A and B are shown apart, each in its own frame.
Chain A
């Protein structure tokens, strides 16, 4: 590994990215516009469904069965009581019923909780009141949008660009020099990582100026999640670019990866209550782990211990994809 050769390739890629004004503008402005759009659309909070968590076994003989048939209420069976209580505290779930012990949790500052409480009143469950402030949709969606932007930037900025280099002969020209594949790939990874960190920081600051969103955790931890997450996405891009020679094929494959990842990783809506198959599939996508970890830090103020599992998953994804990608990499 020659640092001199690595830096030469890194500098060339950085210049190329910074001077491509259209792509740079798109990378910076699109996520801010998306967050603003959602902030505008959802600040009124007009969601149609009420969400009620159900803990414990439902007995068909219980009178509460009548309540469980109520329309316009989404009933979500939950297994972890403590986590769900936290969600009630943050208005993410409107009411939580403990069927075994005949009690319910409600946030006394939540209008939806207030209404549901009136419906539940006849069943004489014990009331446990919480008073946490509301997590608005915008608080929830900002980590998702940041993650999505990183995903698109990494996949297309590395995957598509390397395929273009291969097609137009840039890779062939570089191969004829002493630059090794390892030096070239490292330079691509470093350049894109540098750009993603810079662009995401600017997008974060820009969004923060325009929209008020929640950030209660450590900025350093968020930065760490961003870097580890970006590396895992870049490694997916490298894997795609390892052999493909056609830009059209690369474009199709990258779209095939990015769109399901965006929809199934909980960027826009929570996967809670979705089919278990979808939830398991989401765990196989690096974006899910990155967005979950970023949300935990920004919304719940989670520490390193709480996000260790998603960070470890992201590292494993990266290791796996980089190994396969570099082993199968072809200049031509």
Chain B
């Protein structure tokens, strides 16, 4: 569906994106992950045709981006405003008229739950309501490919869950989705394929579950930091990583590690065991935290 070949975007003194290549197949939810400043938004805006790459090539259905792409793509930007003094229904009607075969207003209102604020001034919407409207605008042309740039940043947990539900419904319609996010949980929940970016480069690429399976064969045991003495070590090969008020122990054999902790009279109150996440993968690959 979309092919990116050796994309670069250089600004004076900054290499925002430094030679990335990938293929986005039809019907998948494709995630671009990375911390702020990793180059995700620059990459996705090059794919959207908003920024011209310094070098490299982008093909949509085998052709360079053009009028066909404009008609068939739906975009929800990270930061965007609508014209002032315009109601939600008026904004939707304006965008409808930009496209040759738009979706009906009723259909969009139902799909994105806009009914309760349809006649409200767009400046008076809450964060979640505004994101729903922007999503509706991105879907107005019944697009084949939908770009969502950090769609849940700044939303409360309930609004985030609602938006995830809407993204799943878009996936169910067999549309191609391109999603950027710095929430690893979001990528894990929604994406079929991801690339993880850092400093303008791709550092990992693949299916989220497969990536975790490839990089980890262990579990994470966490304990309060105060529970372990200074310079404590385990002789079963498990590694210990301080994480704020906690310590995380990466263990290949949870039973053996817990037995060793008990033998060393370490209190197990507040002990938690979990599987590694994409956050752990990012830490493993880069040596630093995603949101540090």
Q: Are B77 and A177 in contact (CB under 8 A)?
A: no
A11 to B99, CA, bound (A): 16
B17 to chain A, nearest CB (A): 16
CB distance A178 to B50 under 8 Å? no
A104 vs B49: C-alpha distance in the bound complex, in angstroms? 73
Interface flag for B97 (CB, 8 Å): yes
Name the contact of B95 in the complex, choosing from A4, A168, A172, A177 (C-beta under 8 A).
A177
Tell me the complex Cα distance, A215–B51, Å: 54
A89-B48 Cα distance, complex, nearest whole Å: 68
B79 at the A/B interface (Cβ < 8 Å)?
yes
How many pairs of residues, A versus B, come closer than 8 Å at their CB atoms?
A: 69
Given contacts A172-B80, A178-B70, A178-B71, contact A5 B86 (CB under 8 A): no
Q: Determine whether B255 belongs to the interface, using a CB cutoff of 8 Å to chain A.
A: no
Q: How far is the CA of A170 from the CA of B80 in the complex (A)?
A: 6
Partner of B85, one of A9, A20, A169, A332: A20
Report yes or no: A8 in contact with B97, Cβ–Cβ below 8 A: yes
A322 → chain B closest CB, angstroms: 23
Contact with B along A283-322 (1 / 0, CB 8 A): 0000000000000000000000000000000000000000
Residues of B within 8 A of A8 (CB): 93-98
Give chain B interface residues in 239-288, CB to chain A under 8 Å: none
Q: Is B84 an interface residue (CB 8 A)?
A: yes
Known: A15-B90, A176-B73, A178-B71. A170 touches B81 (CB 8 A): yes
Contact partners of A16 in chain B: CB under 8 A: 83-86
A172–B80 alpha-carbon span in the complex (Å): 8
Q: How large is the interface on B (under 10, 10 to 19, 20 to 34, 35 or more residues)?
A: 20 to 34
| B82 at interface by CB-CB < 8 Å | yes
Q: How far is the CB of B60 from chain A (nearest CB, A)?
A: 14
C-alpha gap A169/B41 in the complex (Å): 14
Q: Is the beta-carbon distance between A12 and B70 smaller than 8 angstroms?
A: no
| Cα–Cα distance between A157 and B251 once the two chains are bound (Å) | 65
Cβ distance A15 to chain B, nearest Cβ, rounded Å:
6
Per-residue 0/1 for B48-88: is the Cβ within 8 Å of any A Cβ (1 yes, 0 no)?
A: 11110000000000000001001101010101111111100
Q: A176-B48, A178-B99, A179-B98 are in contact. Are A12 and B77 (CB under 8 A)?
A: no
CA distance A9 to B86 in the complex (A): 12
Asked whether, in the complex, the Cβ of A13 is within 8 Å of the Cβ of B80, the reply is: no
| The one of A12, A168, A176, A177 that contacts B90, using a Cβ cutoff of 8 Å | A12
Q: How far apart are the CA atoms of A16 and B94 in the complex, in Å? A: 13
Digit string of B91-127 for contact with A (CB within 8 Å is 1, else 0)? 1011111111000000000000000000000000000
Residue A175 CB within 8 A of the other chain = yes
Would B77 and A172 count as touching, CB distance under 8 A?
yes
Which B residues are in CB contact (< 8 Å) with A175?
50
Asked if A19 is at the interface (CB within 8 A of a chain B CB), the reply is: yes
How far is it, in angstroms, between the C-alpha of A170 and the C-alpha of B120 when the chains are bound? 18
Of all chain A residues, the one with the shortest Cβ separation from B137 is A173
Contact yes or no, A5 B77, CB < 8 A: no
How long is the Cα–Cα vector from A170 to B123 in the complex, in angstroms? 13
**Which chain B positions have C-beta within 8 A of A120?**
none
Q: Which residues of A contact B73 (CB under 8 A)?
A: 176
Decide: A332 and B50 in contact? CB cutoff 8 A.
Answer: yes
Q: Which chain A residues border B81 with CB–CB below 8 Å? A: 168-170, 173
Chain B, residues 137-149, CB within 8 Å of chain A (1/0): the string is: 1000000000000
- A residues 11-39 with Cβ under 8 Å of B? 11-13, 15-16, 19-20
Q: Give complex CA distance A13, B82 in Å.
A: 11
Closest chain B residue to A19, Cβ basis: B85
Known A5-B97, A15-B90, A177-B98; judge A170-B83 contact (CB<8 A).
yes
Minimal beta-carbon separation of A215 from chain B (angstroms): 35
Residue of A nearest to B80 (CB): A169
* Min distance, Cβ B65 to any Cβ of chain A, angstroms: 11
Given the contacts A12-B94, A178-B99, A173 and B71 also touching, CB distance less than 8 Å: no
Q: Which of A154-208 contact B (CB under 8 A)?
A: 165, 168-170, 172-173, 175-179
Complex contact B97–A172 (CB within 8 A) = no
> Complex formed: what's the CA distance from A15 to B97 in Å?
16
- Excluding A172-B77, A177-B99, 14 further A-B contacts by CB distance (< 8 Å) are A8-B96, A9-B94, A11-B94, A12-B90, A16-B84, A16-B85, A19-B85, A168-B81, A172-B80, A173-B80, A173-B81, A176-B75, A178-B67, A332-B51
10 pairs of A and B residues whose beta carbons are closest in the complex: A8-B97, A19-B85, A168-B81, A169-B80, A177-B98, A176-B75, A178-B70, A173-B80, A16-B85, A8-B94
Sample of 12 A–B contacts (CB below 8 Å)? A7-B97, A9-B94, A11-B94, A12-B83, A12-B91, A13-B83, A16-B83, A165-B83, A176-B70, A176-B75, A176-B77, A332-B50
B residues in contact (CB < 8 Å) with A: 48-51, 67, 70-71, 73, 75, 77, 79-86, 90-91, 93-100, 137
